[in-house]
Amino acid sequence: MRIGMPHMGNLYIPFKALFQRLDIDFVIPPVNNQRTLSLGVRHSPEGMCIPFKLTLGNLIEAAELGADTLIMPAGSGICRLGYYAKTQEQILQDLGYNTQIVCLGVSQRKLFGLLGMIKRLSNNAPWSKIISAFRFGLAKLNAVDRIERAVQKVRPVEQIKGTANRIFARAIKAIERADDHNTLKKVEKDYTSELNQVTKNDSQPLIVGITGEFYVLLEPFSNLDIEKELGKLGVEVRRTTFISEWTKFSLFLNPLGMNEKDRIHKAALPYLKRDIGGDGWESVGEKVLHAKDYDGLIHLAPFTCMPEIVAQNIMPSTKEHIPVLTILCDEQLGKSGMLTRLEAFVDLLKHRRRAKVKV
């Protein structure tokens, strides 16, 4: 049995750590690239969203590397995501791969479902070993996300553009290599201090929130590195969606009745009264909630994403006003087109801020 799974941002790092510690045979498909996308697009139904196409590309590339057991998230009551695995299994079958898809229930069984799945995959390893490997994976996940937050702060104000990105790339490599908790802590500390020492200018960067659908927010390949591009334009990006946050709440705190999203849902209530699946409710809520403290909001959604279209229709009607730029991501999204729109948006925000200062 050889395990493969699709990419989403740096999610492969904690999983790699987990699998290594449990001696599970696994492959990591190549990080998302043009070939992944082409493969995914070629074999997907035409109206599907980009997360489906890219994950399908990953699964095909994993199967090419010999993976026979593929992990895919699934569940019910959550947009099309719950149907991905079913369809992808049939597509892989029709392509002639002898693979089996293991569904990872993201909406129902939470922590115990995940641990149970790991136990099965690890050929019944003892629980103590599973828990310790799981904790190490989580530690890596948290370390990656903490560094990323620091990078988001440095990008807009660094003296030499691109410094933070280079440090980030090295940090990711180092975290991936770290093989015990102590090394990991040291790596995180070193890179955080390196980021702090980057020479910065004293500008007051514009603050732009970035919200929308989970996958396109977290997979830079699908949004054409929008955060880096905004950083180049001198904009500080604020994003509430992080995998570590999601994991913390949905695996540990939600079962205890704590929900990080309650505040966002409450804010959205006057405009959208119910959960519509996916992240549509959160998108509306974030606009309402952050209308005061952000300069603008970028709403990212895959083309044909059902919940986000509902959100996009509702957003303009909120009383709380803040400029919103919706960018739909799919294989047709071109870099220069997106850059032009970002530049125009940032210009608009600059004018708004200047006008506000004058008043």
Identify the residue among 50, 184, 310, 349 touching another protein (CB under 8 A).
310
Largest Cα span, the chain: 67
Identify the residue among 101, 288, 291, 305 touching another protein (CB under 8 A).
305
354 C-beta neighbours (distance < 10 Å), count: 10
Contact between residue 237 and residue 152 where contact means Cβ atoms under 8 Å apart: yes
Identify the residue among 216, 314, 325, 342 touching another protein (CB under 8 A).
314
- Tell me the closest approach of the beta carbon of residue 343 to another protein, in angstroms: 22
- Tell me the closest approach of the beta carbon of residue 48 to another protein, in angstroms: 5
Residues numbered 26 to 45 that lie near another protein (CB under 8 A) are 45
Nearest Cα neighbor of 198 from 169, 157, 152 is: 157
Judged by beta carbon, residue 80 or residue 140, the one nearer another protein is: 80
Q: In one letter, which amino acid is 298?
A: I
In the chain the beta strands, taken as DSSP E runs, fall at: 3-4, 69-74, 100-105, 206-212, 235-238, 296-302, 324-329
Separation of alpha carbons 235 and 247, rounded Å:
28
The verdict on 273 binding another protein (CB under 8 A) reads yes
The verdict on 46 binding another protein (CB under 8 A) reads yes
The verdict on 333 binding another protein (CB under 8 A) reads no
Could you tell me the two tokens for 92? Answer: 């892989």
Binding mask 70-109 for another protein (x = CB under 8 A): ------xx-xx-xx--xx--x---x---------------
* Helices marked H in 178-255: 181-197, 214-218, 226-232, 243-247
Q: Per CB under 8 A, which region of 143-151, 225-233, 305-313, 336-344 contacts another protein?
A: 305-313
Judged by beta carbon, residue 86 or residue 135, the one nearer another protein is: 86
Helices then strands, counting H and E runs in the chain, come out as 15, 7
The verdict on 316 binding another protein (CB under 8 A) reads yes
Q: Give the residue carrying structure tokens 């082409």.
A: 38
Q: Per CB under 8 A, which region of 187-195, 224-232, 302-310, 342-350 contacts another protein?
A: 302-310
Separation of alpha carbons 170 and 168, rounded Å:
5
Identify the residue among 40, 205, 231, 277 touching another protein (CB under 8 A).
277
Judged by beta carbon, residue 296 or residue 307, the one nearer another protein is: 307
Give me the phi and psi of 123, to 5 degrees please. 60, 45
Residues making contact with another protein (CB under 8 A): 45-49, 76-77, 79-80, 82-83, 86-87, 90, 94, 271-278, 280, 303-307, 309-314, 316-317, 326, 328
